[in-house]
Chain A
């Protein structure tokens, strides 16, 4: 099992550019979470999908952020336009089909730097 796979590992971009972060959950998992981590705010939940449907996006900071899950094996988090304050590590996590109290598996994260 390859675990949760995120790409790219590092992304450096200029303010105003579009950024797309990608996540491949563990095969067979039906829940997917996007988190953001900064020194100031710690780990914040951005959005949660269940069976490819967004269930809770209350953590998405603003309209510049959007997330999609076109199928069970792929999700994207897009920032357009990007701003320096979006610089953070973005984590994707997935969970299996059992209880909602099952453990989450996290990817290695994408380090985003917006200059």
Chain B
């Protein structure tokens, strides 16, 4: 499985934008980029995913580099509720969409 690399932790202030980076230099042409987050004491929840083009939804935006070797999850206005572990993962066409979780980025949001 192609690997992803994320910073261990990041901090933000409430109501400020947050840019969470992810490197995936060995990504293949069929790999989708997925982001999930896990709030304390809860199961992971889907945030966003994309293939080549940037994606937006009500939770966040996903900016994908032109060479697809990196991506950035953007939270436009962080709230205290956004404090969580954020996971960036790849799913390939031959892995039935298997999600392999790494260590993720712990996001701390300060009031």
Contact = CB atoms under 8 A, between A and B. Distances in A.
Is A bound to B?
Answer: yes
B46 A105 contact: yes
A56 B96 contact: yes
A70 interface: no
Chain B at the A interface: SS class: loop
A108 B91 CA distance: 23
Question: Chain A interface: which size bin?
Answer: 20 to 34
Contacts of A109: 42-43
Interface residues of chain A: helix, strand, loop or mixed (majority):
strand
Contacts of B93: 100
B101 A42 contact: yes
Contacts of A31: 96-97
A55 B96 contact: yes
B44 interface: yes
Interface of B: 32, 34, 36, 42-46, 49, 87, 91, 93, 96-104
Interface of A: 4, 31, 33, 35, 42-45, 48, 50, 55-56, 91, 93, 95, 99-109
